[in-house]
Amino acid sequence: MSETKFQTTIDPVMHTYNRFPLTLVKGKGSFVFDDKNQKFLDFTSGIATCNLGHTPEFVKQQVENQLQELWHCSNLYEIPSQKKLAEQLVQNSCGDQVFFCNSGAEANEAAIKLARKYAQQVKGTERHEIVTFSNSFHGRTLATLAATAQEKIQQGFAPLMPGFRYLPFNDKEALHSLVETNTCAVLLELVQGEGGVIPADQEWINQLAALCKERDILLMVDEIQTGVGRTGTLFAYQQYGIEPDVISLAKGLGSGIPIGAVIAKEKVAAAFGPGSHGSTFGGNPVATTAGSATISYILEQDILSNAKKMGEYLFQKLESLKEKYEQIDDVRGKGLLVGIVVKGKAIDYVTKAREKYNLLILVAGPNVVRILPPLTTTKDEVDQFLLAFEAIINQS
């Protein structure tokens, strides 16, 4: 007989999030609705996940069709939608093969394993160390936590997994110490999202990529937040003129349906033979159908052009606000991944936006407001955001 529990006031959900006092029940396009039927302009996109807005019709139709057919069959069998999405990613990137998983942390975990496997079993070395950079964020598994060079994220989880070394981001001088005997790979974000929306410097990236090529070190780019059109190109690396050996993806790939992916060049992907890595749910028919529909819509409807155009418009207007108001110290980012460095606490801006203007925005550190509109956002929606944000500045 099961044990009967008395009712308590304890929340049955673990308190791993400081949730806003808002219950969202519906979304369409750039807008969401709460349980009181209040309408909010959502410039968070589920933290860069709903890149086509909420419940995009084309993706919804494809997923609904798949739900009528097959939900899960495991990776012991061929999955047509998985192969189709892999082909789309390969055709539109510098990679050759794809591994599918369920999240960004899993994608980076797979990339870390792939780098070590490649160094040790394909190249026949004992290298295992991976270099990451200050203020990075690569996930919350034990390996990706160790890869994340932020002490506040790592606190309470000691001992950290060994095999990672941290260097300052955008520091050319520090690159002189990039290569050590055990270094097998570099992992970085080209625009640090959680770390404050900080873009990589072009000259620094050129120097880093050249060093990796010269010393035969894998260059791995974490595109969890920047990928799938967020910066105005399908992948952020395409704006830097480099070719990474490994690319990790998640967030926007499934339009809200959980999916992650690792794209790798053929020589590197060869390290993952049968039994070397796997995922029960990774690449399942529903998730890869959502991913394939998302990529198809972005490319066929030229969503990238809109993302670039709206990003340029948003930056232009924010720069004007910066010149007008001393409360704004800086505006940075790429495309529709935007950080506004403010005087005072960024959370105060987020709170006022939600409570007074039905606008959802985010923080990216103590004094950085993060803006992540859908790639489908319109000029009217951007203007609505700008009016609200200027009003918040005037009240600060």
Task: Indicate if the pLDDT at residue 8 is higher than 80.
Answer: no
> 100-128: per-residue pLDDT in tens?
999 999 999 999 999 999 999 999 999 99
Q: Kindly report, residue by residue over 317-332, the tens digit of the pLDDT.
A: 999 999 999 999 999 9
**β-pairing verdict for 337-342 and 359-360:** unpaired
pLDDT of residue 10: 86
Q: Are 375 and 298 in contact (CB under 8 A)?
A: yes
Confidence band, pLDDT 50/70/90 cuts, at residue 5: low
CATH of domain 304-394: 3.90.1150.10
Q: Which CATH topology does 57-300 take? A: Aspartate Aminotransferase; domain 2 (3.40.640)
**345-360 average pLDDT score:** 98
Residue with tokens 């925005």: 361
pLDDT at 1 over 90: no
Q: How far apart are CA 373 and CA 303, in angstroms?
A: 13
* pLDDT-above-90 percentage for the chain: 94
**pLDDT at position 167 over 70:** yes
**Can you give the pLDDT at residue 250?**
98
**pLDDT score of 7:** 65
Do residues 121 and 252 touch, judged by C-beta distance below 8 A? no
pLDDT at 6: 60
The domain locations on the chain are: 57-300, 304-394
Over range 381-392, report the average pLDDT: 98
Same fold, 57-300 and 304-394: no
> What's the mean pLDDT in 265-273?
97
